[in-house]
């Protein structure tokens, strides 16, 4: 530290000597050089060497190394804007995070904000446990940095920490030092190992900021399985992500694909090409079976969305805590899916279960699910996720599935109506039902036109 300060002062001296119009106030242009993340040989990975890199809308690709308070204003920190701090996690190989440049550029493109990237690559490398050991020291350094930002007159509530994996808990600890008065903390698959049973002081929790949210994508491995925010998104159930390898021989990508999906989802949400909306529900299973349709409880009909909306779009005075919310995604950006509840209403109950395959169909989409009407009941239902909005889907194809050999002789047709409603459902949206009864023969496709208009 002392030697780098020495170099810096010496550099300044040389510039002042040789600069033709070296006024005391204007900084020499050369000092505004861009700085990047450190790359570390992991054998030296015991030092913390934290760097704070400031990125501003004026120069989104050039990180300015901020050493003290005065650097902030000299390098274009705008006190009337919000500030986003990005904290990466464990870096096994001591390399710069591959996603960070895109993350910074995207943030600056979509929001008028100051971005601070926290480079603690030195302290995050080696073995995971030594990185965990550095969390308190790192959190203190970041807190000190934030106090330098607050000195400029910005409010605590304008600070938003985005932490990845271990970085999420670092954000939690920093928020704890600020008594939960920072504006927002976003945890991108907060780390699980060493944290699932940690105290609230040690890990991210809803007390750490005015709004805390977490996106869970690898809760059965590198991520944490318990809710840690006001809102906890369990993506595809929170454990395994579509498109990620499921066999260990697929190497490093097998290890981190699910875990890193949270970062890629968040990036996609920032670009805001489509809604990554989620539904509060008691379990992923209940969500899939169509039990949670409207976000009424506990969010009073405002479904949370991944991204930068205030409170994730939840419109409530007092936010509930640790609410698990569920969504499904595709395997590739932009990841979004839309949801519909589909139902089949029998005219007459049957004395055995009836399984119906429901396929939504349009020029560029087919999606199927199976719904079951239990014996002696009239209605069977299910949640169907599709990559285009409901109103662009033209047809539904229904097929009664023969359950087993025993019933193979059963050639009786069933009669009823097909109904569907796009989610989230609310009081003013009515369920759409086929106008006439449909007659379904076993194992025969029956088409019906879907006529759901697009919202105005
Ligand atoms: C700071 O941001 C505000 C809001 O975007 C803008 O009006 C103002 O010009 C900015 N100040 C500087 C010094 O760039
Ligand atoms: C599918 O069709 C919809 C509307 O018909 C269109 O908006 C969308 O871009 C299409 N998607 C693809 C992948 O072609
Ligand atoms: C109900 O849903 C429709 C369609 O999704 C939407 O346009 C409308 O704003 C919603 N109304 C309320 C009160 O949320």
Name which residue leads in pLDDT, 13 or 121: 121
Backbone angles phi and psi of 395, in degrees to 5: -135, 155
- Whether the bond between 393 and the residue before it is cis, its omega within 30 degrees of 0, is no
Residue nearest to atom 1 of ligand 3 (CA): 426
Whether 259 sits among the annotated catalytic residues: the reply is yes
> pLDDT of 72-98, one tens digit each?
989 999 999 999 999 999 998 889 999
End-to-end CA distance of the chain: 60
Residue ranges with strand state E in 319-441: 323-327, 338-346, 354-362, 365-373, 379-386, 395-401, 414-422, 432-433, 438-440
* Closest atom, ligand 3, to C-alpha of 424: 5
Alpha carbon of 389 to ligand 2 centroid (Å) = 9
**Cα separation, 331 vs 324, whole angstroms:** 22
- Our answer on whether the CB atom of 301 is closer than 6 Å to any ligand 3 atom is yes
Q: Which ligand is in closest contact with the Cα of 454?
A: 3
- Residue 404's pLDDT is 64
pTM exceeding the 0.85 threshold for the entire prediction: yes
453 close to 422: Cβ distance less than 8 angstroms: no
Give the architecture-level CATH label for domain 28-327.
3-Layer(aba) Sandwich (3.40)
Alpha carbon of 420 to ligand 2 centroid (Å) = 21
Choose the catalytic residue: 216, 259, 264, 386.
Answer: 259
CB atoms within 10 A of CB 296: 16
- Residue 403's pLDDT is 66
Backbone angles phi and psi of 194, in degrees to 5: 80, -5
Domain ranges of the chain: 28-327, 338-449
Question: 3-state SS string over 109-144?
Answer: HHCCEEEEEEECHHHHCCCHHHHHHCHHHHHHHHHH
Place of tokens 């109950």: 349
Residue nearest to atom 9 of ligand 2 (CA): 388
Report CA dihedral (309, 313, 319, 322) to the nearest 10 degrees: -90
- Our answer on whether the CB atom of 361 is closer than 6 Å to any ligand 2 atom is no
214 close to 263: Cβ distance less than 8 angstroms: no
Q: Per-residue confidence at 10, pLDDT binned at 50, 70, 90? A: very low
Q: Tokens at residue 253, please?
A: 């990508």
Residue nearest to atom 3 of ligand 3 (CA): 429
- Selected from 2.60.120.260, 3.50.50.60, 2.60.60.20, 1.10.1660.10, the CATH number assigned to the domain covering 338-449 reads 2.60.60.20
* Closest atom, ligand 3, to C-alpha of 456: 7
- Positive or negative torsion for Cα 192, 196, 198, 204: positive
Least confident of 14-23, 85-94, 149-158, 276-285: 14-23
Mean pLDDT (whole number) for 367-373 = 95
Whether 189 sits among the annotated catalytic residues: the reply is yes
* Closest atom, ligand 3, to C-alpha of 422: 5
């Amino acid at each position: 530290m002392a030697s780098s300060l020495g170099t810096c002062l010496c550099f300044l001296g040389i510039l002042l000597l040789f600069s033709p119009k070296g006024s005391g106030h204007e900084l020499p242009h050369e000092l505004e050089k861009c700085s990047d993340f450190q790359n570390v040989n992991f054998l030296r990975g015991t030092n913390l060497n934290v760097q704070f890199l400031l990125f501003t809308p004026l120069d989104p690709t050039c990180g300015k190394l901020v050493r003290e308070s005065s650097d902030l204003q000299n390098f274009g920190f705008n006190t009337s804007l919000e500030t986003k701090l990005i904290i990466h996690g464990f870096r096994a190989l001591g390399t710069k995070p591959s996603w960070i440049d895109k993350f910074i550029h995207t943030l600056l493109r979509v929001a008028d904000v100051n971005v601070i990237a926290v480079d603690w690559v030195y302290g995050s490398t080696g073995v995971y446990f030594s990185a965990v050991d550095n969390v308190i020291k790192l959190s203190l350094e970041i807190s000190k940095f934030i106090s330098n930002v607050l000195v400029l007159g910005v409010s605590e509530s304008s600070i938003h920490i985005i932490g990845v994996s271990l970085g999420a808990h670092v954000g939690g600890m920093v928020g704890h030092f600020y008594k939960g008065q920072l504006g927002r903390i976003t945890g991108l698959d907060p780390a699980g190992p060493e944290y699932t049973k940690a105290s609230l002081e040690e890990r991210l929790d809803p007390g750490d900021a005015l709004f805390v949210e977490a996106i869970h994508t690898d809760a059965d491995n590198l991520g944490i399985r318990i809710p840690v925010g006001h809102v906890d998104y369990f993506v595809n159930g929170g454990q395994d992500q579509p498109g990620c390898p499921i066999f260990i021989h697929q190497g490093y990508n097998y290890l981190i694909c699910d875990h890193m999906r949270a970062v890629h989802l968040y990036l996609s949400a920032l670009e805001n090409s489509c809604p990554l909306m989620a539904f509060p529900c008691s379990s992923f299973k209940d969500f899939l079976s169509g039990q949670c349709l409207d976000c009424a409880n506990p969010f009073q009909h405002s479904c949370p969305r991944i991204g930068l909306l205030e409170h994730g779009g939840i419109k409530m005075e007092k936010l509930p805590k640790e609410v698990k919310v569920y969504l499904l995604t595709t395997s590739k950006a932009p990841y979004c899916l839309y949801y519909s509840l589909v139902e089949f209403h029998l005219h007459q109950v049957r004395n055995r279960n009836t399984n119906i395959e429901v396929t939504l169909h349009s020029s560029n989409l087919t999606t199927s699910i199976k719904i079951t009407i239990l014996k002696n009941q009239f209605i069977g239902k299910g949640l169907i996720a599709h990559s285009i909005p409901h109103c662009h889907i033209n047809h539904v194809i229904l097929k009664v599935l023969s359950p087993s050999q025993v019933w193979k002789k059963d050639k009786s047709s069933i009669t009823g109506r097909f109904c569907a409603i796009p989610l989230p459902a609310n009081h003013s949206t009515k369920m759409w039902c086929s106008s006439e009864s449909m007659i379904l023969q076993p194992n025969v496709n029956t088409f019906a036109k879907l006529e759901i208009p697009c919202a105005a």
